[in-house]
Amino acid sequence: MQTIFIEGLQVPTLIGVYDWERTQETVLIVDLQINAHLEAAMKSDDVADTINYAAVAETVKQVGKDAQFELLEALGNAIIEAVCARFDLYKIVLRIEKPGILPDANKVGITISHEVETNA
């Protein structure tokens, strides 16, 4: 099993519990770790044999564009559902940061780990 990661992806989205957060999009910072079998691409050197991280990033940004959640937890769940539906993976660890929102804190956020159920 190998890992693909994306760090520091900027994801604009409408998010927040309070009215003042819902007048404009917030740019969230997303990190993703995906565990998958990459052996085929390691041998073939063909992007068709792997999880294209550009396509993952595009999927995450599209979820953000379409979403209007209040909570980071709900957005995280939507991102995980979209990525798992599109890519063949075993585990995903998602971290979403919301910078500069709390006084006296650089950033707040969540981390969600999700393992895909297999029939094996």
Ligand X SMILES: Nc1nc2c(c(=O)[nH]1)N=C([C@H](O)[C@@H](O)CO)CN2
Binding piece for ligand X, criterion CB under 6 A, among 5-13, 46-54, 59-67, 71-79: 71-79
Q: Is 107 a catalytic residue?
A: no
Q: Do you know the residue count of the chain?
A: 120
DSSP 102: S
Told to check if 17 binds ligand X by CB under 6 A, we report yes
Give the C-alpha separation, 75 to 50, whole Å. 26
Binding piece for ligand X, criterion CB under 6 A, among 1-9, 14-22, 37-45, 54-62: 14-22
What's the min distance (Å) between Cβ of 108 and ligand X?
A: 7
Give the C-alpha separation, 31 to 113, whole Å. 12
